[in-house]
Chains A and B, each alone.
Chain A
Amino acid sequence: MNNLKILGIETSTHACSAALCSGERVWARFEIAPARHTQLILPMVEELLQEAGFELKTLSAIAFAAGPGSFTGLRIACGVAQGLAFGAGLSLIPISTLQTMAQGAARIFGAKRVIPALDARLGGCYWGSYVLDEQGLMQPQCADQLTEPVQLLEHLAQNEQDGSLLIGQGWSVPEQNRLPEFPKQVDFYPNAVDLLPLARQANLDGLAIAPELAMPYYLRDNVVLQSGSTTV
């Protein structure tokens, strides 16, 4: 089971990344590229497959960061993943973008408790709370949420011990200087590399689905403003 071959795709924020694993071997691409995801993502996938010497249809599954994040970005990852999986006859594994970020914090900083947050615009933020389990995978302590920053700070005051690492651009709120005891990494982006271990476990847990069932995980559902215009 350990030599599963999984491709991961991530375009939820300004970063664009793709990664491929076969067992313990990993190939990856990552770039901060606002508004250039549609130019970069397929060439990244092609390069990874060439480097690894695999054909797409020999993979076990494709994982993608499903959200929350930029609505258009989420649909790029989901649409690309759908097209690739449908064409190659593979199933899809949607993974939370916030969980992917938390997994990245474990990889880079050795973090054990992480609170990832993303700017949700309109005065809101997306956030989650994650703790590392014995297998080295970040597990959610509550459902990913969309709230005002104030509520996130309240949650922090009530539930979290010192030592939780705060990551992501959702922490660039003015109130953050009320939280001196928490270490922060604001310039932190989700990376497809961190989808891979989570997807491997999700695949074992039977969470792979048919491509037409894979949807973005928007979290914000009231997208019609009174004026009739919409959020992006």
Chain B
Amino acid sequence: MNILGIETSCDETGVALYSEKHGLLAHQLHTQVALHAPYGGVVPELASRDHIRKLLPLIEDALQQAKLTRNDITGIAYTAGPGLIGALMVGACVARSLGFALNIPTIGIHHLEGHLLAPLLEERAPTFPFLALLVSGGHTALLSVENIGHYTLLGESVDDAAGEAFDKTARLLGLGYQGGGAALARLAKQGGPSQFHFPRPMTDRPGLDFSFSGLKTSAMMTIAAAPKDEKTRADIARAFEEAVVDTLVIKCRRAIESTSMKRLVVAGGVSANIHLRMSLEKMSQELGIEVFFPRPEFCTDNGAMIAYAGYRRLKAGEHDDLTICARARWPLGELNGAY
């Protein structure tokens, strides 16, 4: 099986080829960050227009990288949601039609299932069952993963996602749309211990839900009241990062203790955060469990994770009919089984 994976849910066009025998054969990514930067955020219509320009050329690049031709593709997986509907539609239309023309099965994948399974692309991959912390720009959730398509939602954010809190705080610190959490983390590295302290929301009560909007408000007030010099900004960034990381670690520890899971998988854009990785490694040693991360480039949106999720579902015999499927909203709770 050679599965083509296509990701177009937001502002990255991702294409990859995954082989059952040889693993990941090719992976191509085009990011639209520079296109949207002047507007301070993703402009949906511009995103859709760019996806349709870049998708086929990226598919050709991926085939070339893998030394395959289009006739070697045996299945196609594409992100069917959630995300920007116009952007999703481009990937879905091209993917479904390409599958029809090649007479091979296609499957629409939940974007978060892609993130969730990204660590399985690594050589040191977790086995089922495992606990998963999904921390991306749009979602923060803890799930129990029994197998492909068998997920139990244990807790999620009641308001903002962790990545969103990173992004908004980065903007308040003058780091802009392009910077986001990664830029905030770089700034935090320059910071030291300080008088700044942010709350660890919802850690003082039972349960596995998250809330990050209060933290964002608190950051906003702190930043407004503080001096604007580089040192102070770095100290604030560090205190903010610590608060988010602490909160995530506390909830993971709680989830591990209550489920007795032996493996923790961390995925989504925020899982690229070094401080979070180190803190979770430390916690895993204390608890005697194993923790798994995707390689940094597969933490954010990419085609490889979609190709892999598609490989697992297509191998299990699932596939689409001729309806082209794209859903802007697709609740995590509906992630199980077929659709």
Contact = CB atoms under 8 A, between A and B. Distances in A.
Contact of A212 (B44, B56, B85): B56
Contacts of A224: 39, 43, 45-46
A80 B100 CA distance: 10
9 contacts: A56-B101, A72-B48, A75-B89, A82-B56, A83-B94, A83-B101, A86-B59, A218-B49, A228-B39
B83 to A, nearest CB: 14
B101 A41 contact: no
Interface in A59-108: 71-72, 75-76, 78-89
A228 B43 contact: yes
Nearest to B92: A38
Interface of A: 38-39, 41-43, 45-46, 56-57, 71-72, 75-76, 78-89, 211-212, 215-216, 218, 223-224, 228, 230-232
Given A211-B56, A215-B52, A223-B46, A79 B97 contact: yes
B164 to A, nearest CB: 17
B70 A42 contact: no
B52 A78 contact: yes
A87 B323 CA distance: 18
Contacts of B98: 83-84, 86-87
B154 interface: no
Interface of B: 39-41, 43-46, 48-49, 52-53, 55-57, 59-60, 70, 85-86, 89-90, 92-102, 322-326
A209 B92 CA distance: 22
A56 B103 CA distance: 10
Given A71-B48, A87-B97, A76 B89 contact: yes
Contacts of B90: 75, 79
B52 A79 contact: yes
A23 B55 CA distance: 33
A23 B41 CA distance: 50
Contact of A230 (B40, B43, B70, B96): B43
B86 A71 contact: yes
- The 5 A-B pairs of least Cβ separation, nearest first, read A87-B101, A83-B97, A79-B93, A212-B56, A38-B324
Secondary structure type dominating chain B contacts: helix
A75 B97 contact: no
A63 B43 CA distance: 30
Contacts of A223: 43, 45-46, 49
Secondary structure type dominating chain A contacts: helix
Nearest to A221: B49
A56 B48 CA distance: 27
Given A83-B95, A218-B49, 18 more contacts: A41-B324, A42-B322, A43-B323, A79-B94, A80-B93, A82-B52, A82-B56, A85-B101, A86-B59, A86-B70, A86-B94, A86-B101, A87-B99, A211-B56, A223-B49, A228-B41, A230-B44, A230-B45
A76 B52 contact: no
Contact of A71 (B45, B55, B97): B45
Contacts of B48: 71-72, 75
A216 B52 CA distance: 9
B92 A42 contact: no
Contact of B96 (A42, A89, A215, A231): A42
Among B49, B53, B59, the one with the most A-chain Cβ atoms within 10 Å of its Cβ is B49
A109 B42 CA distance: 46
A223 B42 CA distance: 13
A212 B45 contact: no
Contacts of A43: 322-323
B53 A215 contact: yes
Nearest to B59: A86
A38 B53 contact: no
A226 to B, nearest CB: 10
A218 B48 CA distance: 12
Nearest to A87: B101
A73 to B, nearest CB: 10
A76 B86 CA distance: 9
Contacts of A72: 48, 85-86, 89
A80 B97 contact: yes
Nearest to A216: B52
A117 to B, nearest CB: 22
B89 A79 contact: yes
Contacts of B94: 79-80, 82-83, 86
A75 B59 CA distance: 18
Contact of A231 (B39, B45, B93): B45
